[in-house]
Amino acid sequence: MLKRRLNRTDALAITLGAVIGVGVFRNTGLVLRGTGGFVPAAILWLVIGTLCLGGASLYADLSSRVPEAGGPYAYVRVAFGGRAAFIYGWLNAGVSLPARQAATVSAAAGVLAQWIPIHPRALAIALLLVLTVVNLGGVRAGTIAQRIFTTGKLATIAIVIGLAIAVGWRTPDGAVSFTPASFATAVGAVWYTYLGWQDIGMLAEELHEPRRDLPFVMFGTVLLTMVLYLGIHVAVYLGLGGGAEAYGALPALDVARHALGGTGEGLLRGLLLSSMIGVSAVGVLLRPRIAMALARDGLGPEPLTRVSEVGTPYVAMAVHVGIALALVSTGSYEKLLELLSFAMGVMGLFEIASYFVVRRKRPALPPSRFHPWGPLAFLLMSSALCILGASANPMGVLTSFGIVGGIAIVYAVTRPKLRAPLA
């Protein structure tokens, strides 16, 4: 049985760790190329951050009405019942989340391979096993690790801004030549750089006061990341004088190189690697709880419900890590992620739609002060991204429907009985 071992500070460290990765450092240049310049890029970072605040109001409301392990899965279950919960939950727990885990840990291993002469796949497997051992030590051990990783991430951002100031902020010298990107790509890059704050809902049963702490953590994380991301955007652009380097793949590394030479660049690469490992560790800590919640509700094998004395759903974690290891070993996760992009967008729409249904089913709590405009804005933004993803990759739509259809067939054949009440 899960126990309430986590406080608000723990939750904030975990959530910031889930949101802040290497994405903000990789995507500042991409967003500049997609928007065409400093001001429109800054506006895009600000606007999508504001929309995420609307999303935070939505998920904070849901987490207060359904304070259960599994987070988004539990919202879908309460809103739409067992069939939708089974399909949504196993698409997430059995396919999407392990693929994301494999992608994250493999990206970290790719950077690590620059220092260690071992094949990146072997490093990814080793890294994932190490992170699993750390999290088998219990939710407290995983949380302590996240406090360390999150502190490092915040320090990395502060160092980049400080180095940009040390280099000397300069104004652009005129027109800059760069390879443009589409505006849709820029929007997607900003959107996915912000997301991750809603994952803390998976730990609702392990927080001391989830109804009080989850809204604070979600809003606080979005507000803080808005400030940090805008700060990185401004500092890197001005530190590089608005030149071609600001539009590059990792402009923060160019800032470090200008300030401290090769030593500075190497130091920042190490900090970015630490940030990537931290995101991978969050995944191992949080994501197995969806499979555990499915089994506890009668929608999965009973062994997945087992929790160790230190609060680790160890069987569910073994399944999650096992699928991720298989994907890392075969390298198939990259193609799977590409094909699942549409499905992940649709799952997000299911979560958002749950808000309006759960509010009717559980009306005891007052609505968010941002109701209904914040949730509606977040819904429209998610729908637009889903449409963009489908138009860019129609094969992903077919693959997603194929996987969902397969899971639906499993449900029809096994006819699992939902044990949890729907109200």
Domains of the chain, first to last: 8-414 (1.20.1740.10)
Long-range contacts of 385-389 (CB under 8 A, 24+ apart): 385/187, 385/188, 385/191, 385/345, 386/342, 386/345, 386/346, 386/348, 386/349, 388/184, 388/187, 388/188, 389/188, 389/341, 389/342, 389/345
The residues pairing with 207 across neighbouring beta strands, listed in sequence order, are: 6
What is the Cβ-side half-sphere exposure of residue 402, based on CA atoms within 13 angstroms?
Answer: 9
**128 near 325, Cβ under 8 Å?**
yes
Predicted confidence at residue 307, as pLDDT, reads 93
Amino acid identity at 374 = G
Predicted confidence at residue 315, as pLDDT, reads 96
Predicted confidence at residue 179, as pLDDT, reads 81
Q: Tell which residue, 377, 360, 381, 359, has the closest CA to residue 368.
A: 359
Q: Would you call 6 helix, strand, or coil by DSSP?
A: strand
Amino acid identity at 423 = A
Which backbone phi and psi does 207 adopt, to 5 degrees? Answer: -90, 145
Omega before 372 cis (within 30°)? yes
Q: How far apart are CA 402 and CA 319, in angstroms?
A: 22
Averages of pLDDT over runs of 10 residues in the chain (423 residues) are 88 93 88 93 95 89 90 93 92 90 89 89 95 92 91 93 88 73 86 88 91 92 96 94 90 92 90 91 93 94 93 95 93 72 80 91 81 84 79 79 89 84 46
Q: How far apart are CA 210 and CA 201, in angstroms?
A: 9
